[in-house]
Amino acid sequence: MRNKKETIRKFVSMVNNEEEQGGLWLPNIQRYFIWKKEQIEKLFDSIMREYPIGNFLIWKTKEPVKMRKFIDNYKDGLRLVDFYIPKNNKIKLLVLDGQQRLQSLFIALKGSYNGEELYFNVLSGKEGKEDIKFEFKFLSSDKAKIENGWVKLKDIVFENRTSYAIAKDLIQKINNERKKKLMDDLSEEEIDLIQNNISLIINQFCNSNNPIISYTELDSVDNPEIYTLNEVVEIFIRANSGGTPLSKSDLMFSLLTANWEDVEEDLTTFLEDLNGTAFAFERDFVLKTSLILIGAGAKYDVMKFRKEENLKRLQDNWEEIKKSIKEIKDFLCKYTFIRDDKALPSYLALIPLIYFIYKYPEKWKNSNKEALAKWLTRVLLTGAFSGSSDTLLDALIRKINEKGDFDIDAINTEIMNRGRTINISEDSLLDTYYGDKKLYLIFALWYQDVSFKPAYEGNLPWVDHIFPQSKLKEVKVINPETGRKIMKYKWWDRDQIANLMLLSAEENRDEKRDKSPEEWLEDKGDEYFEIHLIPRNKELWKIENFEKFVEERRKLIVDKFKEIGLIT
């Protein structure tokens, strides 16, 4: 590991440039460039203020990993696949940490942002505007008025003349343009400001005696035994843990696409078709499921996608893998009350069923789908696959293979043997609160026997409080210790399932709003009370009887789920 320094001008010149130490590139495990132009402008203000801009982490390697060029001319809607370059065994420098900053520097000094280039106002810097002292703006050439001090930054940074010569020439150009516009010449104070700003730019961006770019180089060329691929991946994960989280599947996918280039576009299309507007299957899920289906186990290991036998199994069985995952989506829609992502607390619970479909297609075809749907509902409601579930998944796969079938009793025994439950208790049902993903599945089951389309209008269930939060918050009691008035009903009182119902978008937005139950329920009929499990005693609809209302409604909810057969 070496700590190095370089000037901004030199560092940016290394980007996408094989002749400069192999060039700086981005490994495919890096995410998209997400900075907005305002963030880039602010970065340059920080540089001019001589603020530190952080360390970069660089991997020097000959590893033939998939990589891409940095973007020079950024435009909304760019596709990263257009920037991929062929794998090679040449020495190169891959940026593991600092992509957003270096990409910003490169766009500003070598390219453009949506057709605009970065300009610097050489008359700024005297007084700050809010949190900005030095003005940098991405502008089109027709809006960058030199008479007002706007000059293209790259024209200064990549000049080879002295700061004095650059400033002198610039001052003359500004004055000439001002004469044409019948404006006053630059004042002595403005001339001094320009000279100081140009001198500062040269010092901050170009001065080899003041290299402000600091980077740590992991050298796998001279030290291959220290910085192995696995070590570098682990360093990368830790270095990026404070920013946008990166899952190991991102890294594994990069290794996969390095040897199977067609899979990226194919997987993207597959996910789009699979999800439509309702579900949220992710690449992580597909990759994890694929490993299990080919017999590689549930645990993530970066090197799994580098093993030739795994890669061959994936390629040979890819169409069947996709078909099996697609089959589970169809199963959800046909046999369960899970119609979208809102009602699916855990996608991992689907994997044993997908494996059954994949490994034993004939038995799946003739299986009791209603029983399997009930099993899935139960494990989703009990959270059987929450937390660390890799060992559980591996155990269930072994059990399916051992039985040659999806034996629900054997599967359930395996789940319980690992300290997890498949039993839904009254308490676990009633201890469900607003915002809990399990809530949407409960409501999906709750309203299954009625034509209650509002539950999935626009694929977004509308959950609302029967007793409005605003009104419950107004109820105060005296704190016996302090003598002060405090809120009587805490969030767990207000947000409990016994105070929640589903409404259509129109009802929720335009009709109910903050109406009390007394007002909202007054004109409702028995069918409405039956659907929503509302106690019919109107006295319970009063705010002072909130606790009695909740007590009665909890009984109705429990009775409903006993009737469904999910509580025994």
Residue at 316: amino acid letter:
D
| pLDDT band with cut points at 50, 70 and 90 for residue 459 | very low
The whole-angstrom separation of Cα 185 and Cα 147 is 9
Kindly report each contact of residues 404-411 with a partner whose C-beta sits within 8 Å and lies 24 or more positions away, as own/partner.
404/360, 404/363, 405/356, 405/360, 405/363, 406/352, 406/353, 406/356, 406/360, 406/363, 406/364, 406/367, 406/372, 408/371, 408/372, 408/375, 411/352, 411/375
| pLDDT band with cut points at 50, 70 and 90 for residue 261 | low
Which pLDDT score, from 0 to 100, does residue 252 have? 64
In whole angstroms, how far apart are CA 98 and each of 45, 56, 70, 243, 404?
18, 5, 12, 10, 50
| pLDDT band with cut points at 50, 70 and 90 for residue 329 | very high
pLDDT score of 455 more than 80? no
Residue at 34: amino acid letter:
I
| CB of 236 closer than 8 Å to CB of 29 | yes
Residue 526 backbone phi and psi in degrees, to 5: -60, -40
| CB of 91 closer than 8 Å to CB of 53 | no
Mean pLDDT for 352-375 is 95
Exposed, middle or buried: residue 309 (CB in 10 Å: 0-12, 13-18, 19+)? Answer: exposed
pLDDT score of 232 more than 90? no
Which pLDDT score, from 0 to 100, does residue 428 have? 83
CA torsion, ordered 365, 368, 372, 377, to nearest 10 deg: 130
Give the highest mean pLDDT range of 191-195, 300-304, 306-310.
191-195
pLDDT score of 167 more than 80? yes
**pLDDT tens digits, 475-484:** 999 988 888 8
Strands (E), 255-306: none
* Nearest Cα residue to 515 out of 442, 445, 465: 465
Mean pLDDT for 288-300 is 90
Reported pTM: 0.58
Rg (CA), the chain: 31
| CB of 439 closer than 8 Å to CB of 502 | no
Identify the H or E element spanning 73.
strand 73-74
Mean pLDDT for 262-291 is 88
Which pLDDT score, from 0 to 100, does residue 509 have? 55
- Sequence-distant (6+) residues with CB within 8 A of 178 are 147, 184, 185, 186
The structure tokens listed for 480 are 């016996």
Q: What is the mean pLDDT of the chain?
A: 87
Which pLDDT score, from 0 to 100, does residue 343 have? 83
pLDDT score of 453 more than 50? no
Give the torsion sign (CA, 136, 141, 147, 148).
negative
* Nearest Cα residue to 66 out of 99, 25, 102: 25
Mean pLDDT for 543-565 is 92
**pLDDT tens digits, 18-72:** 999 999 999 877 778 889 999 999 999 999 999 988 889 999 999 888 889 999 9
Which pLDDT score, from 0 to 100, does residue 452 have? 38
Mean pLDDT for 280-294 is 91
Higher pLDDT among residues 185 and 82, named by residue:
185
The structure tokens listed for 414 are 């395996």
252 three-state secondary structure: helix
| pLDDT band with cut points at 50, 70 and 90 for residue 514 | confident
Percent with pLDDT over 70 in the chain? 89
The whole-angstrom separation of Cα 26 and Cα 21 is 15
**pLDDT tens digits, 114-147:** 999 999 999 998 865 557 899 999 999 999 999 9
